[in-house]
A and B are shown apart, each in its own frame.
Chain A
């Protein structure tokens, strides 16, 4: 297959999965309700800790930024690589994966396009709902102090947008490692259970990384999970600007490259000794 035709196939895989996942509107609303509750609790806890004036003055981000961080983090929750693609786990268990092996496409890219579509379709509606709630509705209700604040500048907004797209690719590369792990171990739940704690703390989803102790900061910024949420938000607040902004994006690109190469190498090894399940 020629290169443009193959690219077209991957885009089609992405789009079809995206459209399929958008059908699950009930799940979106349920997830949104959960995330509003979670966000509200986080915001109240942060406000309580920021209540001590001396400590609040020396904090690396302001309360308003920490609140915005929490809402954006809730809106982008499904952007994070929580679990292996459930369809792939099923395909491996039932043996349906053999059909995918027969397609005249690059196997890694095939799964990657589908997983990216799956993640994007889950995150887009939830992020829009969260923005409508925390960015528009809360100020209208007179709760502007608890709201999701706009970015620091137009440039910051643009950098944030680019960084979120990189975060999607990074997250997909991580989901691919989980998918390959599922193919190797034939078990999704155990792997997912181990991945989730790493993701939740090191992405910043649990707590903005800059609020963690100062001596950890360099290591926290360099590790791969920071590119999922923390780097996009540092760009949003203008904490990373000028050359540093490009260093942030570069770091995301670096981890995408490393994880994709690792995934391709590992997938090739796993496929060599994959036993087909099912009859």
Chain B
């Protein structure tokens, strides 16, 4: 079962990619749109720095690194989670979900492979580009330790965003539609994590640390990578520990997910 699962995922992803390349103009337009659509926001960040100068001790290059990290995390998680994102609208409402349940293959893998979106490469590319430009601007020295911390933080971030999309999918077992309000957590989370946590008011910092622990994957480790003293005074040992929060939330999300699947009764006729 597990071996077949490992072989199944590349096949599902391959099939999904082939389907999207049947409309090459559209696939290219979407990828470019993802690149510029998300990339254009960094222009607003740049414009604010151009007009106002440094903000509470942060300079443009540093904010670009925060921005790059969160976009890389979300791009990967978003590409993997389309099946959960559209679960309510495309799968539950239509009864299509029953077919997935009948197949003798892991449900989660089928949903990951449901529609692996090539266009997310556009968001990933712009996130990486902004991250490296930011790192250049602040003269960041990449060492084995900072690279390891960066990859670990990204893994935690992907886990966290994936968890949020699994929770959104879980909710749709009850609502039978895909809830737009979940975008507050995903897209809204990306929006919030583009800037250092220390710029926000206390209540928002609390939400982003303890409720949706985005700060644990996209703020504390990044502060450490930048070598910038944390205005919030987090201790040095916390940076490499914090990304675990992403995996904790992922674990909780799958507990909720299993409960949702057990609760599921078909809408089909």
Contacts and interface: CB of A to CB of B under 8 A. Distances in A.
Interface stretch (A97-105, A116-124, A185-193): A185-193
A201 B26 contact: no
A211 B47 contact: yes
Interface in A142-198: 185, 187, 189-194, 196-197
A78 to B, nearest CB: 12
B30 A193 contact: yes
A59 interface: yes
Given A33-B181, A34-B183, A211-B48, A52 B29 contact: no
Contacts of B184: 33-34, 37
B191 to A, nearest CB: 6
A29 B27 CA distance: 32
B56 interface: yes
Interface string B183-207: 1100110011001000111001000
Given A187-B25, A193-B119, A38 B191 contact: yes
Nearest to A43: B201
A50 B51 CA distance: 10
A187 B26 contact: yes
Nearest to B32: A194
Describe B's contact surface by its main secondary structure: helix
Interface in A46-71: 48-52, 55-56, 59
Nearest to B179: A30
A213 interface: yes
Contacts of B53: 52, 55
B40 A200 contact: yes
B34 to A, nearest CB: 7
Contacts of A212: 47
A31 interface: yes
Contacts of A30: 179-181, 183
A45 interface: yes
B47 A55 contact: no
A40 interface: yes
B55 interface: yes
9 contacts: A27-B180, A34-B188, A44-B201, A55-B51, A190-B25, A194-B36, A196-B33, A200-B37, A207-B48
Interface of A: 26-27, 29-31, 33-34, 37-38, 40-41, 44-45, 48-52, 55-56, 59, 185, 187, 189-194, 196-197, 200-201, 206-207, 211-213
Interface of B: 23, 25-30, 32-34, 36-37, 39-41, 43-44, 47-48, 50-56, 119, 177, 179-181, 183-184, 187-188, 191-192, 195, 199-201, 204
Given A38-B188, A52-B53, A193-B33, 10 more contacts: A29-B181, A31-B180, A41-B200, A44-B201, A187-B26, A191-B29, A197-B33, A197-B36, A211-B47, A211-B48
